[in-house]
Structure 1
Amino acid sequence: MKLDSVEFTTRVIECLADADGLEPTELDYNLHDYIDPDVLRKLGEMERGTWEITFQVSDHQVTINQDGGIIIDGAKYN
């Protein structure tokens, strides 16, 4: 599944904000301080294969996969 990298990055930020009970603009950190946006872009551009990446953002553990699944601290976000 090919993912739009800007839309996907925005979804990750929205999910992180939701996990913190905040609006995305209220987060006191930037996603790019924790993971290179090019990594998300390159993964999102992959049309074949299976992948999953887990990384820390602030005090959260974030896992994303090729299907656009986002898991934060064990909770799945749609």
Structure 2
Amino acid sequence: MKPTTGRIVRYRGKQGLLAMRAAIVTADIETLDPRGVEQGLIPALDSDQHVHLWVFTPGESGGFTEYNVAPGDEPGQWSWPPRV
């Protein structure tokens, strides 16, 4: 399944406890603005499976952005939530 903007995914952190967090896809290969990439405002995506994310965290900051995130189960990657 191809990731699309607005979908909820899971993101495993790269630092600290490598915690699994909820995230939302903020840009995919179809919705990424090429003008922003050309101007250096936002990174390009390496493939149609890579996405930009807003990762939700507990606490005052509420979250952080991750760019050009690949799919997978390793730290720094996104995956689909399990079906329940």
| Bigger share in helix | 1
| Bigger share in strand | 2
Shared topology, TM-score over 0.5?
Answer: no
TM value normalised by structure 2: 0.26
